[in-house]
């Protein structure tokens, strides 16, 4: 069955345009409610980030669920991983997050979590898709769902985050800048690090409904870099708007991306004998991480781009650690989904345990120069059989040898092809990437 609503990470779009309209979201609530009610559990949690449209969709979603006989517990602004965790602890049928993650405020979306706190299974999403084709009805008045607010949700999640940090260890003596992207973690992130003893400088913590992710947070780390240097902090932590991505900055003001964070965690666990298998990355994971893990004798595998696929690969291999260079870090021995705060605490525990600054820990792995160019297309086409493009890729691979790699990846949402090249010499990487991009543009543009 083809999908009309769900993508690889829930439902997302421009506010006021399909599918992110009040009418569609209300019916999605109803359709999800009908599917969930058929399985017996009628309790759902609803959380959101700080977008102004969250009020609109929270009401629409609750109305749709109520009309299907589902009770809603409203959490208010709450990081996506917090909703995953609370869905499990409340024994709810599902958790629904109203968020467009790292997108600008004028977008919004819906993410669904199962009762176990993981992404909703494909078969349940397909059932909801099928139910959307049915006419919306309302249960008898006596069976309508009710809505309540959970007032202590933030406190519950804060205590959970702290519980993942080593017992007896504190962050006393560390000065940390925390950039919450004016998003869902604007208050919670600061409180977690503060309660563990850190001297916290909080930025990106004044949401007004339209400034989420705007020039701050994990997608704009220069803001964090500037504050780390200004405050002479030990390091900085940046979340994205819904709190599932983590980017860090060391005391020198250098950005530490998801690949470097994965290396720091993998090495610490490998040295301690607690890694439990290998590490999962994606097609975009830097070759430097793969080489560094190889040197340690740690298995590594690549999934498609997206934390959903990283999760699938981890479960397939029985591994516990994986992530993306964009900052989705998954520690399956701690959480059921990507969690920026928990991942940051994992890194901080390594810093405290080793007594080494983040700059030294990340410096033990060398990232390969990587260039990414987007080539616009007139329309989406299958270029797999294009002789000129295939010849250009083969020539690039021969030039790079074992010291690099090339990847052509069509966008899933736009008419363009992403050309990515990695290698040891930055000038060569730039030149080869441009040559291949030119060929793609000439053939398909």
In sequence order, what are the beta bridge partners of 371? 421
Q: Give 270's pLDDT tier (boundaries 50, 70, 90).
A: very high
- Distance CA(410)–CA(384), nearest Å, equals 11
What's 370-444's CATH class? alpha beta
- In the block, residue with structure tokens 């363009």: 416
Give the range among 227-231, 381-385, 399-403 with minimum mean pLDDT: 381-385
- Tens-place pLDDT, residues 217-246: 999 999 999 999 999 999 999 999 999 999
For 302-327, what is the mean pLDDT? 95
Contact 341, 80 (CB under 8 A): no
- Tens-place pLDDT, residues 28-78: 999 999 999 999 999 999 999 999 999 999 999 999 999 999 999 999 999
Residue 110: phi, psi to the nearest 5?
A: -130, 130
Q: Which pLDDT does position 377 carry in this prediction?
A: 87
Q: What are the structure tokens assigned to 79, written together?
A: 């990081």
Listed in sequence order, the residues at least 6 apart from 212 whose beta carbon sits closer than 8 Å to its beta carbon are 49, 50, 51, 104, 105, 181, 182, 183, 241
What's 256-339+349-363's CATH class? alpha beta
Q: Give 1's pLDDT tier (boundaries 50, 70, 90).
A: low
Q: Could you tell me what percent of the chain has a pLDDT over 70?
A: 99
- Tens-place pLDDT, residues 178-220: 999 999 999 999 999 999 999 999 999 999 999 999 999 999 9
- How do the domains of the chain map onto residue ranges? 11-151, 156-254, 256-339+349-363, 370-444
Q: Could you tell me what percent of the chain has a pLDDT over 90?
A: 92
- CATH numeric code, 156-254: 3.40.120.10
67 is catalytic: no
The answer to whether the 11-151 and 256-339+349-363 domains have the same CATH topology is yes
From the candidates 101, 115, 118, 326, give the one annotated as an active-site residue.
101
pTM reported for the whole predicted model: 0.94
pLDDT above 70: residue 416: yes
- Distance CA(101)–CA(83), nearest Å, equals 14
- Average model confidence (pLDDT) for the chain? 95
- Tens-place pLDDT, residues 156-185: 999 999 999 999 999 999 999 999 999 999
Q: Which pLDDT does position 352 carry in this prediction?
A: 98
- CATH numeric code, 11-151: 3.40.120.10
- Distance CA(13)–CA(107), nearest Å, equals 5
What does each C-alpha distance from 226 to 65, 230, 253, 436 come to in angstroms? 44, 6, 7, 36
pLDDT above 70: residue 412: no
CA dihedral 336, 241, 20, 418 (to 10 degrees): -90
- Distance CA(42)–CA(92), nearest Å, equals 8
Q: Which pLDDT does position 392 carry in this prediction?
A: 95
Q: Which pLDDT does position 413 carry in this prediction?
A: 64
For 272-283, what is the mean pLDDT? 96
- Tens-place pLDDT, residues 319-367: 999 999 999 999 999 999 999 999 999 999 999 999 999 999 999 999 9
- Tens-place pLDDT, residues 92-112: 999 999 999 999 999 999 999
Q: Which pLDDT does position 410 carry in this prediction?
A: 86
For 9-20, what is the mean pLDDT? 95
């Amino acid at each position: 069955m083809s999908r009309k609503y769900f993508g690889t990470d829930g439902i997302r779009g421009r506010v006021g345009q399909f599918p992110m309209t009040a009418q569609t979201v209300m019916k999605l609530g109803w359709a999800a409610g009908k599917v969930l009610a058929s399985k017996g559990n009628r309790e759902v949690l609803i959380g959101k980030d700080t977008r102004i449209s969250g009020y609109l969709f929270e009401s629409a979603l609750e109305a749709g669920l109520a009309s299907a006989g589902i009770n809603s517990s409203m959490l208010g602004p709450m990081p996506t991983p917090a909703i995953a965790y609370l869905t499990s602890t409340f024994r709810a049928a599902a958790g629904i997050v109203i968020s467009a993650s790292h997108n600008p405020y004028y977008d919004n979306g819906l993410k669904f979590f199962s009762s176990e706190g993981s992404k909703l299974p494909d078969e349940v999403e397909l059932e909801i898709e099928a139910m959307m084709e049915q006419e919306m009805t309302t249960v008898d008045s006596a069976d309508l769902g009710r809505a309540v607010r959970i007032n202590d949700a933030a406190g519950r999640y804060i205590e959970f985050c702290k519980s993942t940090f080593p017992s007896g260890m504190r962050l006393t003596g560390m000065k940390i800048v925390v950039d919450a992207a004016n998003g869902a973690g604007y208050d919670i992130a600061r409180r977690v690090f503060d309660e563990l003893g850190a001297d916290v400088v909080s930025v990106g913590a004044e949401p007004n409904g339209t400034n989420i992710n705007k020039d701050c947070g994990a997608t704009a780390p220069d803001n964090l870099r500037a504050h780390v240097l200004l405050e002479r902090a030990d390091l900085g932590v940046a979340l994205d708007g819904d709190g599932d991505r983590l980017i860090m900055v060391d005391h020198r003001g250098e950005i530490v991306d998801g690949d470097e964070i994965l290396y720091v965690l993998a090495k610490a666990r490998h040295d301690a004998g607690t890694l439990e298998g290998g590490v999962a990355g994606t097609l975009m994971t830097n070759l430097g991480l793969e080489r560094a893990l190889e040197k340690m004798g740690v298995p590594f595998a690549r999934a498609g781009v997206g934390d959903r696929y990283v999760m699938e690969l981890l479960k397939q291999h029985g591994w516990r650690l994986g992530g993306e260079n964009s900052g989705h870090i998954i520690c399956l021995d701690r959480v059921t989904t990507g969690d920026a705060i928990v991942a940051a605490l994992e890194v901080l525990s390594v810093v405290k345990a080793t007594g080494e600054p983040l700059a030294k820990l990340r410096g033990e792995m060398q990232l390969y120069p990587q260039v990414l160019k987007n080539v616009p297309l007139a329309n989406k086409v299958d270029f797999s059989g294009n002789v000129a493009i295939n010849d250009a890729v083969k020539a690039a691979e021969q030039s790079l040898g074992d010291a690099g790699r090339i990847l052509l990846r069509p966008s899933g949402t736009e008419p363009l092809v992403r050309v990515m090249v990695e290698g040891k010499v930055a000038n060569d990487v730039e030149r080869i990437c441009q040559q291949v991009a030119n060929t793609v543009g000439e053939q398909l543009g």
